[in-house]
Amino acid sequence: MNVMNKTFLPISAILLITAVSYSDCSSSKKITSNTSASSLKETFKKYFLIGTALNSSQIEEKDPKAAELILQQFNTATPENIMKAEIIHPEWDRYNFDLADKLVAYGKKHGISINAHTLIWHSQLPRFVREMKDADSVKQYFSNHIKTVAGRYNGKVLSWDVVNEALNEDGTMRKSVFLDYLGENFVTEAFRLTQQAAPQTELYYNDYNIEQPGKRAGCIALIKKIQAAAVRIDGVGIQGHWHLGKMPLKEIEESILAYSALGIKVMFTELDIEVLPRDFSGADVSQRMKSDPSLNPYINGLPDSVQQQLANDYEALFRLFLKYKDKVSRVTFWGVNDGQSWLNGWPVPGRTNYPLLFDREFKPKPAYYKVMALAGNNL
């Protein structure tokens, strides 16, 4: 597909021009880059997959700039919303596979592997499930949903986030319709049913803050329980919704070692770095903050000092990922560029956020060049 037209420069030209302009900066800002001709996926392909979350307009290739950047930079993708139960299974006996089928076709056409997201999650559930009042109905839904959805994409997607965010911050099980009606064993049962329905698909547990010691202990116990039941689990996804200047590097390193010791893949599945004020960590979508102009300080652009901090944070993270390249199998960003990030709308609506490696014009940011240079030095 020719996505170039006269209204914008191709992304490859933008990358080259931006690389040159960064190397022209004053020495304090200078960012070494020998990577102008390359891309994230090329640079890291020996080490791990590089992914992005895709929204529905990106799956349908409606935005030519996004379409070009995605194909250039990423070799794996996770649907941001369209495979969640609320969308793919809106009514008891009705499924909506349109966009998920398009995603699978898109991945096949472009050689992008798909991590399907997500089968069992307490959030974004269809109304009929939220209103269930008895165990039999929940059990039937649970089984039908997994068999039908996972079964349809068996062999067509690389992997499933089988269960998402089942844990509280202290490592205990989170209250949900599944815990209430099916009991703590619902996680193991979800993996068992998915294994049966999708034997050719890798099966992962995915959650945020599971690098933190308390939640990590709960997560390790959960994984061991699945393994003890002789049910397959292939990997764990540490989401990676972190905050500027507060990267939990020690906890991440400990977690890479602890999870890989269980014999499973370790992935960073929803990476972004919040640069705006927020008074809690993680990604619990039910948490909100009241809108206030002081919470949206960078509507006219990111100050250079913050931009540099963001670059340093990403560099430190990727240094760790590269140190453990034999254990980390995938790094997926939660969005293509800053303008398309969910963090513009959460936990405060209508903010201007800057959490990713590409800006609103799809141009690579200093963080991109720092990460790329790091890998270049590692080759």
**Residue ranges binding ligand G3I (CB under 6 A):** 80-81, 123-124, 164, 239, 270, 283, 285, 342
* Number of other residues whose CB lies within 10 A of the CB of residue 379: 8
Bridge pairing between strands 241-243 and 113-121? unpaired
Q: 351 or 370: whose CB is closer to ligand G3I? A: 351
Query: Is 267 strand, coil or helix?
Result: strand
Dist. CA 312–CA 34, nearest whole Å = 18
Nearer to ligand G3I by Cβ, of 80 and 338: the residue is 80
Nearer to ligand G3I, 291 or 377 (CB): 291
Q: Which is nearer to ligand G3I, 279 or 326 (CB)?
A: 279
For the CB of residue 239, give the shortest distance to ligand G3I in the complex, in Å.
Answer: 5
Q: Minimum CB separation from ligand G3I for residue 330, in Å? A: 15
Q: Which of 61, 211, 270, 315 is catalytic?
A: 270
Cβ closer to ligand G3I: 150 or 336?
336
Q: From the CB of 25, what's the least distance to ligand G3I, in Å?
A: 33
50 contacts 75 by C-beta, under 8 angstroms: yes
The answer to whether residues 176 and 166 touch, using CB atoms and an 8 Å cutoff, is: yes
State the residue number with the nearest CB to ligand G3I.
342
Q: Cβ closer to ligand G3I: 51 or 366?
A: 51
Q: Which residues of 222-256 are buried (b: 16+ CB within 10 A; e: fewer)?
A: bbebbbeeebbbbbbbbbbbbbbeebbeebbeebb
Least spacing, CB of residue 291 vs ligand G3I, in Å: 15
Q: 270 an active-site residue?
A: yes
Counting Cα atoms < 13 Å in the Cβ hemisphere of 72 gives 22
**Structure tokens belonging to residue 133:** 């009042």
CB 314 within 8 A of CB 243: no
CA 121/CA 165 separation, integer angstroms: 7
Half-sphere exposure at residue 334, Cβ-oriented, CA atoms within 13 angstroms? 24
Distance CA 87, CA 140 (A): 19
In the bound complex, what is the minimum distance in angstroms from residue 53's beta carbon to ligand G3I?
Answer: 6
Min CB(340)–ligand G3I separation in Å: 10
Active-site residue, from 165, 211, 274, 315: 165
Known catalytic residues are: 165, 270
